[in-house]
Amino acid sequence: MNQPEEKFMKLAIQAAEESAANGDYGHGAVIIKDGEVIATGYETLKSANDPVNGHAEIDAIRKACQELGQPYLQDCIMYCTAEPCPMCMSAIIWAKMESVAYAITRDDMIAEMERLKKESGGNFSWRQIAIPAEYIVKHGEPKVTLFPGFMHEESQKLFDLTGK
Ligand SMILES: [Zn+2]
């Protein structure tokens, strides 16, 4: 079992910063196998007008599968800056990944959404689906190990980048 390493989450945070600099949401993902970076995923939802492949986790999975020439990513760990949405968490299971480390949790995202809603006088809304990654793992097969809140503190700065 791979234990998460800070150096790889730093790469995911770097990818998130690059996405944000490009006008997209500040999300990033990397996929590691045997201590090597196989793929880096960027959020391109807005710049590519793509709400599916534009998620950083999906981008990383697609690139990693191309890189390895196979549809499965056994023995791979994903580092993503935020808790995967239900679409991405499902894709992680379809790809048979071993584990996922994420920094920002769903609770962080909900708190930030509430803060922005208040700030905008109720005009702000974020798309969200109230299904935690943990729930999908529990109901999915094969099982994926989650490392929630990994480098939590360091990730909180990403909220300030999004939308700027
Ligand atoms: Zn997603």
Handedness of CA 139, 30, 45, 108 (dihedral sign): positive
Q: Is the pLDDT of residue 2 over 70?
A: no
| 3-60 residue pLDDT tens | 899 999 999 999 999 999 999 999 999 999 999 999 999 999 999 999 999 999 999 9
pTM of the model: 0.94
Q: How far, in Å, is the centroid of ligand 1 from the Cα of 136?
A: 13
Q: How far, in Å, is the centroid of ligand 1 from the Cα of 52?
A: 8
Of residues 6, 36, 43, 57, which has the active-site annotation?
57
Q: 3-class DSSP state for residue 131? A: coil
Q: How far, in Å, is the centroid of ligand 1 from the Cα of 149?
A: 17
Residue 57 a catalytic site member: yes
Q: How far, in Å, is the centroid of ligand 1 from the Cα of 35?
A: 24
